[in-house]
Amino acid sequence: MYQKVKGTYDVLPNESPYWQFLEQKIREICAIYNFSEVRTPILEHYEVIHRVNEDSDMVKKQTYDFKDLSDRLLTLRPEQTAGIIRAYVENKLYANQDISKFYYIGPNFRYERPQKGRFRQFSQFGVEALNSDSYLLDAEIVALAYNFIKSLGINEIKVEINSIGDSQNRIEFRKTLVEYFTSYTELLCDDCKNRLLTNPLRILDCKVCSKEPFFKNAPSPLNYLNNESKERFDKVLEELENANIDYVVNPNLVRGLDYYDHTVFEIVSYSEELSHLALGGGGRYSSLVKELGGPDITGIGFAFGMERLLLALNNSNLINIVPPLLDVYLLVTTNYPYKISLLQDLRKNNITVETNYTVGSFKNMFIKALNKNPKYILIAGEDEFKNNTITVKNLSTRTEEIVKKTNIIKYLKKELKTKKG
Ligand code: HAM
């Protein structure tokens, strides 16, 4: 028997209502914030993904890169920010010189070690806002992420926020960090020994090393901000405070992708079951548009993992979706002509209907009909066919009525309306 690829999953019919619920919530909040949806390809040229994230562990080690039949090197997107900026530049969406606000929902691929909330194919809901470097936009984007989570009813979360300053700050901080950790090289985990050479900032959020005593006095990017960056960060925090956003400054938060500067943040679950799982994260990026061939435009955004949002919702029993009852089951006990036209008439009148496709014992057919959980069962057999009628069984009142076939739609519409009302 074939099995799904490791780290992937099927969304089965009993699960898809949860996805639809989440997607609807996303579309509602994005409409209120006036973000427009963009859909970019899952495949990008290798360079789009790799160039802007040369030092990122994730992009270096976990992307699905391959050559197509024309020998083009392609990558399955591991995240969507790079592709969206590629589309923004390629389609010159910056030409109107105004702020662009996008949102997206869709799959990404990372060759991860699968575990709870971690897959090789996973979906993200994300937003990107481009063409303003105002600190107000930083605060608004963090507020959007926070308000979205709250609108789902997910509590026990915190916004963890930090500033990694501008590119100059980062260069100086990086130097200090390398000096500090070089004296502890022997104590670093194997990954961090490599990070010391390639991406020392990432040592700060290493889950292994951060538990070691030598880590305690590691320098924090916050202490290396210049006045401008510090002032900017203070203003972001002030706005968040005034907007009652529950945040905590995490001086070790640096994030896993290379393109960030200034504000970085994560929405972290503090619930017992999801202990410290990041539901989403994002930050400002000032050189991404330029690096992908566009003008000197900055942006900020975030992405949530949809599977993790569903985990948080399910763990707190926040979604209890009751599938809508089927209006009608049409049970035909004989070879009844014009069946499709009757089904069609019902559906044209917004009546949901299922039917049997083969004729067997009445008892078995009736049980199958009941299993579909309809409000009414319509029976059309020999007698009904002769008399041009349909027998209607109302399953809530357990009553039965014989209705003229020509009146059936009118009858059902009235019945169903009374029920809803
Ligand atoms: P990220 O932190 O790599 O950021 O991913 C964002 C979220 O996607 C994570 O917080 C997590 O919920 C989810 N996620 C990541 N990897 C997996 C996985 N293997 N399985 C399940 N969920 C996962 C980004 O992707 C940035 N593009 C966010 C951003 C947008 N920054 C600026 N704009």
* pLDDT per position as a tens digit, 146-158: 999 999 999 999 9
Ligand 1 mean position to 305 CA, how many Å?
6
Segments in 106-161 forming alpha helices (H): 135-151
CA angle 310, 29, 99 (to 5 degrees): 125
pLDDT digits (tens, 9 = 90+) for 96-144: 889 999 999 999 999 999 999 999 999 999 999 999 999 999 999 999 9
Only one residue has tokens 């209705």, namely 403
Nearest atom, ligand 1, residue 118 CA: 20
Name which residue sits closest to atom 13 of ligand 1, judged by CA: 305
Work out the end-to-end distance of the chain between its first and last CA atoms, rounded to an integer number of angstroms. Answer: 49
Q: What's the rounded Cα separation, in Å, for the pair 178 and 169?
A: 14
In this structure, how many other beta carbons lie within 10 angstroms of the beta carbon of residue 228? 12
Predicted local confidence at residue 419, as pLDDT: 61
Burial class (CB in 10 A: 0-12, 13-18, 19+), 275: exposed
- Cα 334 to averaged position of ligand 1 atoms, centre (Å): 56
With the most atoms of ligand 1 within 8 angstroms of its CB, the residue from 103, 266, 308, 309 to mutate is 308
Q: Which residues of 173-186 are buried (b: 16+ CB within 10 A; e: fewer)?
A: beeebeebbeebee
Contacts of 155 (CB under 8 A, 6+ apart): 316
Q: What is the pLDDT of residue 92?
A: 97
Q: What is the pLDDT of residue 110?
A: 97
List for the chain the helix, strand, coil content (%; round to 5). Answer: 40, 25, 35
Q: pLDDT-derived band of residue 421, with 50, 70 and 90 as boundaries?
A: very low
DSSP state of 94: G
Summarised one tens digit per residue, pLDDT across range 207-225 is: 889 889 988 889 988 888 9
The pLDDT tens digits of the residues spanning 342-390 come to: 999 999 999 999 999 999 999 999 999 999 999 999 999 999 989 999 9
- The residues, ordered by sequence, that sit 6+ positions from 32 with a Cβ below 8 Å of its Cβ are none
The pTM for the full model equals: 0.92
Residue 337 has pLDDT above 90, yes or no: no
As for ligand 1, residues whose beta carbon falls within 6 Å of it are: 79, 81, 110, 112, 117-119, 122, 124, 126, 128, 256-257, 278-283, 301-305, 307-308
Average pLDDT, the chain: 93
**CA 327 – CA 320 distance, rounded (Å):** 21
Q: Give 355 Cα–ligand 1 centroid separation in angstroms.
A: 44
Q: Which of 9, 116, 122 is the best mutation target for the ligand 1 pocket, counting ligand atoms within 8 Å of the beta carbon and taking the most?
A: 122
48, 64, 124, 141, best to mutate for ligand 1 pocket (most atoms within 8 Å of CB):
124
Identify the structural domains of the chain with CATH numbers, from first to last.
16-166+226-315 (3.30.930.10), 326-420 (3.40.50.800)
Instruction: Write out pLDDT tens, residues 395-407.
Output: 999 999 999 999 9
Give dist(CA 309, CA 149) in Å, integer. 8
